[in-house]
Amino acid sequence: MSHAEPVKRLLRPLCLFACCGFTGAVAAETLAPAINWVAPLFTKDNFRSMTVRGARASFPANNEVAVLDLSLTVFSGDATSKVETVILASTATFLPRESLARGETGVRVIRDDLEAAGDHWSYHHAQKKVSLTGRVRIVFNAEFTNLLK
């Protein structure tokens, strides 16, 4: 057995791994866009957690979905399946592994107790937290008692 033989044995799987990684990266960019799609997400106990839908989704990177006309509905995650929040945006980026949605253009956040709008936004599903950092407008639908005391 020559000294080159162990090196060749090591290089073959590495080359195969490198090629697979390269084709995986290319595959995300070359996937056809999804049109009028819906993606329901569930908790470990099979309760609805979130439904993401859009008019068009493209896949510019491995863990990134570019969405047109995003409609994100957040549920309570229990047997009641109560809608807690609805997020509407004309353009957005959705990162499925992080359960994160974000965008630079306008967004509308609708809840029973408030309605908010703004630019430069993000939604972190694990914390059920919406952040708005540009041109924010919030209308509260809740009663404030003793606000001016």
Average pLDDT over residues 26-36: 74
Considering only the top CATH level, what class is 33-140? mainly beta
- Give the pLDDT of residue 14: 33
Distances (CA, A) of 112 to 35, 36, 82: 30, 27, 11
Domain boundaries, the chain: 1-30, 33-140
- Give the pLDDT of residue 148: 76
More confident residue, 23 or 76: 76
pLDDT greater than 50 at residue 13: no
pLDDT greater than 90 at residue 26: no
104-118 core/surface letters (b: 16 or more CB in 10 A; e: else): eebbebebeeeebbb
- Give the pLDDT of residue 49: 92
Q: What is the pLDDT of residues 87-146, one digit of tens each?
A: 999 999 988 888 899 999 999 999 999 999 999 999 998 898 999 998 899 998 888 787
Could you identify the residue written with the tokens 């253009």? 105
Average pLDDT over residues 36-56: 93
